[in-house]
Amino acid sequence: MKIKPLITEFASLSIKEIKRYSRHVLLPEIGLENQKRISNSKILVIGAGGLGSPILLYLAASGVKELGICDFDVVDETNLQRQILFNNQSIGKDKAQEAKEKINELNPNVKVTVFNEMITSKNAEKIVKDFDLVIDGSDNFATRYLLNDVCVFLDKPYIWASIYRFDGQLSVFWKKHGPCYRCLHPEPPPTNMVQTCASGGVLASMCATIASLQVTQALQLITGVGDVLIGQVLSYSALDANFRKVKVDKDPDCVICGKNPSITSLIDYEQFCGPVKPRKDPGIKAIELKQMLDKRNKNELDFLLVDIREVPEKNLVEIEGSVFINRDDIFANDGISLIPKDKQVVLYCRSGNRSTEVMNYLKHNGFLEVTHLEGGIISWVQEVETHKASY
Ligand SMILES: [Zn+2]
pLDDT for residue 88 is more than 50: yes
pLDDT digit string, tens, across residues 197-237? 766 789 999 999 999 999 999 999 999 999 999 999 999 99
% helix, strand, coil for the chain, step of 5: 40, 15, 45
Instruction: Tell me how far apart the alpha carbons of residues 385 and 246 are, in angstroms, rounded to a whole number.
Output: 34
pLDDT confidence of residue 278: 45
pLDDT for residue 391 is more than 70: no
Helix count (H) and strand count (E) of the chain? 16, 12
Spacing, Cα 46 to ligand 1 middle (Å): 21
254 is known as an active-site residue: no
Spacing, Cα 188 to ligand 1 middle (Å): 14
Spacing, Cα 148 to ligand 1 middle (Å): 9
Residues with CB under 5 A from ligand 1 (ion): 180, 182-183, 254, 257
Spacing, Cα 9 to ligand 1 middle (Å): 29
pLDDT confidence of residue 363: 85
pTM value is: 0.80
Spacing, Cα 79 to ligand 1 middle (Å): 33
Contact (CB, 8 A) for 135 and 44: yes
pLDDT confidence of residue 189: 83
Tell me which of 183, 197, 254, 273 is the catalytic residue.
197
Q: Residue 3: which of 163, 175, 127, 256 has the closest Cα?
A: 175
Q: Which residue has the higher pLDDT, 43 or 92?
A: 43
349 is known as an active-site residue: yes
pLDDT confidence of residue 331: 83
